Amino acid sequence: MPYQLPANFLWGGATADFQFEGGFNEGGRGLLSHDFETDGSLKIPRHHTMTLPNGEIIKPKSSFFLAEKVPENAQPIFLEDEYYPSHKAVDFYHRYKEDIALMAGMGFNVFRFSICWTRIFPTGEEEKPNEEGLAFYDNVISEMLKYGMEPLITICHDELPMALALKYDGWSSRHVINAYLKYCKVLFERFGDRCRYWLTFNEINAVRGFGPTGVRNPDGQDRYQAVHHMFVASAKAVKLGHEMMPGSQFGAMYAMSELYPASSKPEDVFHRLQARRENWYFIDTMGRGYYHPYVKEIWRKHGVKNIKMDSDDQILLKEGQLDFISFSYYRSNVTQAGDPWFNVGGSPNPNLETTPWGWSVDPLGLRHVMNEIYDRIQKPIFIVENGMGAIDEPDQNGNVQDDYRIKYLRDHLRAMADAILIDGVDCLGYTMWGPIDLVSLSTGEMKKRYGFIYVDMDDKGKGSLDRTPKKSYYWMKKVIETKGAYLNDDYPTP
């Protein structure tokens, strides 16, 4: 079947504030938990820098997948000999006009970005919002609309005002729900007339650690209690958003790698079902509006004794269901009976090639995941992150010939088109992760690049920060221009 996607299909890119904006102490912005995360690499995990009352420095690991405990009396501290990538990121804060123009040059009709909570409420609890922060996003949105780019706004991308983390132990407290709602209300008031698509949380199924949730003991009981509060917060935001902005569409974003059983042994296949439910837990509850019976088994496995709920929480979940399901897809993994429950994501798929960061490349897995979600929830879906983190070496003229990225994207976009055109999946759009190179979330590196546009900066923030389109930029422009027809075999492929 020829690849030709509907005229209203949304094509674009996706970013997150603390990986992209920089300007961490400008415009009245308050501190985020992420501001205390150092850089790292595949071998050396990123860490927070903190201090104890006796002056001792501690460096808890900050990986958002791993649950590392943070002592109750630890306070964040900046150390002079550490590099903190969020402080400068790649400076979208000062270069948004140039960056948006570059993205418009590829024909994007959507751009997903996240609003930095502490630009709007520096500690999360001020009575009035910070006007300078609102003005920044106002300008960003106006600039996008000038080029016909639809905003897709992530309200909370794995982040929390540091003040809320310290004061309340983050999302383990219901107080944070009120702070989040106050923040949402301001965004809906200011931007609701111009923004239709909203995501309440990013990768809510993956975030565990202190960085994104502010929970110091993110295992079992506290983690699932925090997640319940995030479910309620999301449902309240959806309800409020629908009331304040008729026609608005809400999603939340899930990390959805493909997951295969390691073999056809019944035990492995059943284990896969159970491991997958660790993700369905989030999508089912928010997408269908209620906790399913299997959640009891999940709580038991994670040592959860009791989730405290208010009497109307269950009603709220129902009333604040999502309109669409959005997700990130990068890779596939395998899992087998006996794998520990903290490793629900599985291990790299041995049948596939991997990126330099060990992520298995699996386009068909994307088609499978799209079908799995759509069959299950039967609401439109939206691919809001996909892409290949790779090492790009500019040639002597400063150009990057990233044929490997074109191949990755072509194969994934073909798989996506198959799911839409052959399987009948209702997919609203596709936003490629990091259209302009930005800081890696998992490792804090700059050299793990996703972009169509090269940024001259190294892992320690050195470089001109100049932007240069890569070969993939011109290729993707053609794909968008032809509404996917450029994916057909009759066009040149690298």
Which of residues 441, 457, 480, 487 is near ligand BG6 by CB under 6 A? 441
Select the span of 88-96, 344-352, 439-447, 482-490 touching ligand BG6 (CB under 6 A). 439-447
* CB nearer ligand BG6, residue 74 or residue 110: 110
- Exactly one of 16, 134, 317, 476 binds ligand BG6 (CB under 6 A); which one? 16
Per-position x/- string for 174-213, each x denoting binding to ligand BG6 as judged by CB under 6 A, each - no binding = ----------------------------xx----------
Tell me the C-alpha distance between 250 and 235, whole Å.
10
> Would you call 203 a catalytic residue per the annotation?
yes
Instruction: Determine the interface stretch with ligand BG6 among 135-143, 362-370, 440-448, 456-464 (rule: CB under 6 A).
Output: 440-448
Q: Does 448 bind ligand BG6 (CB under 6 A)?
A: yes
8 Å CB contact between 109 and 149: yes
Residue 425 sits in the site that holds ligand BG6 (CB under 6 A): no
Contact with ligand BG6 (CB under 6 A): which of 4, 109, 355, 442?
Answer: 442
Cβ 129 vs Cβ 120: under 8 Å: yes
Dihedral angle over CA of 194, 198, 201, 205, nearest 10: -160
Q: Is 328 in the site for ligand BG6 (CB under 6 A)?
A: yes
Question: Is 14 or 232 the residue whose CB approaches ligand BG6 more closely?
Answer: 14
Query: Judged by CB under 6 A, does residue 255 bind ligand BG6?
Result: yes
CB of 156 vs ligand BG6, minimal distance in Å: 11
Q: Least Å distance between CB 326 and ligand BG6?
A: 11
Q: Which is nearer to ligand BG6, 255 or 415 (CB)?
A: 255
Longest CA–CA span in the chain (Å) reads 68
385 is catalytic: yes
Residue 183: CB minimum distance to ligand BG6, A? 19
> In whole angstroms, what is the distance from residue 397 CA to residue 404 CA?
19
Residue 130 binding ligand BG6, by CB under 6 A: no
Site for ligand BG6 contains 89 (CB under 6 A): no
Task: Check residue 440 for interaction with ligand BG6 (CB under 6 A).
Answer: yes
**Region 385-404 residues binding ligand BG6, contact defined as CB under 6 A:** 385, 389
Minimum gap (Å) between residue 439 Cβ and ligand BG6: 7
Closer CB to ligand BG6, 19 or 360, in the complex: 19
Catalytic residue among 37, 203, 258, 445: 203
In whole angstroms, give the CA distance from residue 349 to residue 339.
14
CB of residue 387 to ligand BG6, shortest distance in Å: 8
Query: Using CB under 6 A as the criterion, what x/- string covers residues 275-304 for binding ligand BG6?
Result: ------------------------------
Closer residue to ligand BG6 in complex, CB, 124/389: 389
Question: What residues make contact with ligand BG6 under the rule CB under 6 A?
Answer: 16, 19, 202-203, 255, 328, 385, 389, 433, 440-442, 448
Q: Give the residue numbers marked as catalytic.
A: 203, 385
